[in-house]
Structure 1
Amino acid sequence: MTSQANLQTARKDKVFTVTFNREDKMNAMTASFLQDLKAALDSVRDDDTISVVVLKATGKAFTTGYDLDGSDWILSQNPIAQAGTLDLERDRQDIRALLEYWWTLWKFPKPIIAQVQGLCLSGGGELIAMCDLVVAADIAKFGHPAARDLGIPPTVFLWPMLIGMRKTRELLYTARLFSAREAEAMGLINRVVPLEELEATVDAMAADIAKTPVGNLAILKQATSNFYENMGLFASGAQAAELDAVFHQSESFVRFFTKVAEEGVQAALADRKARFG
């Protein structure tokens, strides 16, 4: 097993496991976190002894999305330092770069299984959207609370394709959290199991998939990806990235990060809760 501040990695038979290791931060994603995740995946990308990748996490959250404290900000402009006022063109470039990051995971040639044991919110939806399969504990929760005031994911989590237009709009317009059972019923995830069975279920699934020759898995993955790409996946992502940059110019975005700059994240979250519920 290898370990670092953001994550741990381990190999067993043909399965490579990446464990998010920011439990004290609810596994919130930072710039260095994403760099470490990409490096871990790159280390086995062309390794034919590895057939399947499993992503899992320590603690109560799979990930609560992008880290809001600003010390390792996900984009080049720190909205806390700038009280939420961002240069639009630079923000566009940053969001396009983030989108390209997610597409590298989409194009990763080996199946990726997300093992979701708890909260999976906002940017976490982007992460699981790039995974091939998602297995969740029955206590897991999903959603995009930031939809009301902070922005949209450039991938829009692939929700329009995965769960349809009407459910996507409902979940974005209300920003409500929803259960693993509801996520399974909508087709957002593959399977829900009791928390105590989650590890064994994912282990068995990964071992079963690993029986298929690694080259065949790459072909099967590309064959299914092609349908989404041919429907305009990449073009839609580029358009959403533009809309996200525009969203970041909104009064609600500036208000939130001004509050963070002046009084801290918890005060901003409390103000947000009072405003939106």
Structure 2
Amino acid sequence: MTVRYERRDAAAVVTMDRPKYRNAQNSAMTYALDEAFGRAVDDAEVKVIVLAGAGDHFSAGHDIGSPERDVHTSFDRKAVLWWDHVGRPGGDQRYARESEVYLGMCRRWREIPKPMIAMVQGACIAGGLMLAWCADLVVAADDAFFADPVVRMGIPGVEYFAHPWVMGPRFAKEFLFTGEGIPAARAREWGMVNRVVPRAELETETFALAERIATMPQFGLALTKKAVNQAEDLMGLRSGMDAAFGLHHFAHAHNAEVSSDPLAGQDARSMRDGR
């Protein structure tokens, strides 16, 4: 089981449960998350969703090397209407898979009609950012850190390219150009995080916020979320993300052409160590 689901009063708690791999996301986890979110949406008693990661870290990103990586496995398509990636050659395979499992799913989750809070501790890296940014609010422990190091692969950021909107263009450039992790306090200064709390108080503070939100009318919350998301889209989020996704795949293709490796020789260890 890669995801756990539980109810706490009016909150649905969706917990990524691969702590051995710092909650790196394989496709099985992606679809388990989607199922859990759907369950929360369909439960009329759920007013708020809390997204959490088991263990010391929220999520170290996409699974690019664990024994449970499932990149060549077929899954039910739910986010986009495109053909299955399995058996497709070259860039066709990668584009089909990432359109569904990465960009498509994150866009789907951003539109969940119930407020979602990401409860972040430890690492929130690359694909982990995508999950946190799908949430409406982010409560971070003081030991949390955030990074998108994929420029080391020659790739302009993760697939769900929300950087300029969640932290502003200049900070987005610094964040991407250096690939360095930033602490929770700086992430809050940049507008990525709503609250930073001591690690020991993370759960208490997150659920207190969820309880406060749950007192509001459910339909009012849904419409308010939609209004803010629409405003963000009018500021170019969706079209900018489409443009960046094309550049992302151009970078993969370039890497494959000059080195035969779409990831430019990087793996989970080298990305973690900044090599």
The bucket for the TM-score relative to the shorter chain is 0.7 to 0.9
CA contact (8 A) 1:7 1:18 kept: yes
CA deviation profile, 1:6-63 (whole Å, cap 9, x unmatched): 1211112111001111110100000000000000000121322100000111111100
Q: Is 1:135 matched up with 2:139?
A: yes
Letter in 1 for 2:116: I
155, 158, 162: which one pairs with 2:160?
155
Shift of 1:112: 0.4
Deviation string 1:77-123 (CA, Å, 9 cap, x unpaired) is 9xxxxxxxx71233233332231111110110000000001110010
Q: 2:70 aligns with which of 73, 76, 80?
A: 73
- Equivalent pairs counted in the alignment come to 256
Look up the match of 2:202: 198
In the alignment, the residues of structure 1 paired with residue 259 and residue 193 of structure 2 have an alpha-carbon distance, to the nearest angstrom, of: 30
Deviations 1:226-264 (A, max 9, x none): 10122232222221211111111244885586868xxxx
Distance 1:75 1:253, change over 3 A: farther
1:231 aligns with 2:227: no
Are residue 59 (structure 1) and residue 62 (structure 2) matched? no
Segments of structure 1 that go 5 or more residues without pairing to the other structure are: 78-85
Equivalent residue for 2:112? 108
Give the letter aligned to residue 154 of structure 1. E
Q: Which residue of 2 aligns with 1:87?
A: 90
- In structure 2, the CA distance between the partners of 1:270 and 1:128, relative to structure 1 (3 Å rule), is closer
Secondary structure in 2 matching 1:9: strand
Question: After the TM superposition, which of the residue ranges 86-95 and 237-246 deviates more from structure 2?
Answer: 86-95
Distance 1:248 1:209, change over 3 A: same
State the match for 2:19 in structure 1. Answer: 23
Aligned with 1:99 (options 81, 88, 103)? 103
- Asked if residue 247 in structure 1 is aligned to residue 251 in structure 2, the reply is yes
Are the structure 2 counterparts of residues 144 and 191 from structure 1 closer, same or farther at C-alpha, using a change threshold of 3 Å? same
Match of 1:227, SS state, is helix
**1:74, distance to aligned residue in structure 2 (A):** 4.8
The one-letter amino acid paired with 1:46 is D
CA distance in structure 2 between the aligned counterparts of 1:271 and 1:226, rounded to whole angstroms: 34
Distance 1:75 1:247, change over 3 A: farther
Q: Which runs of 5+ in 2 are unaligned?
A: 75-88
Residue number in structure 1 paired with 2:37? 41
Q: Secondary structure at the match of 1:207?
A: helix
**How many Å separate the matches in 1 of 2:152 and 2:245?**
17
Given residue 200 of structure 2, which amino acid in structure 1 is its aligned partner?
A: E
- Taking the aligned partners of 1:7 and 1:51, their CA distance within structure 2 comes to 20
Specify the code of the residue in structure 1 equivalent to 2:131: L
Identity, in percent, stands at 29
Alignment match, 1:83: none
Give the distance between the partners of 2:271 and 2:7, measured in 1 at CA. Answer: 44
- 2:171 is the alignment partner of 1:167: yes
Question: 8 Å contact 1:248–1:254 — kept in the other structure?
Answer: no
TM-score scaled by length of structure 2: 0.85
2 CA distance for matches of 1:271 and 1:228? 31
Could you list the runs of 4 or more consecutive aligned residues of structure 1 that deviate by over 6 angstroms after TM superposition?
A: none
TM-score normalised over the length of structure 1: 0.85
CA contact (8 A) 1:66 1:74 kept: no
8 A contact 1:7–1:19 mirrored in 2: yes
Whole-Å separation in 2 of the counterparts to 1:256 and 1:89? 13
CA contact (8 A) 1:65 1:120 kept: yes
Offset of 1:150 from its aligned partner? 5.9
The alpha-carbon distance between structure 1 residues 167 and 258, as it changes in their structure 2 partners (threshold 3 A), is closer
Whether the 8 Å CA contact 1:247–1:253 is kept in 2: the answer is: no
Q: 1:272/1:101 Cα in 2 relative to 1: closer, same or farther (>3 Å)?
A: closer
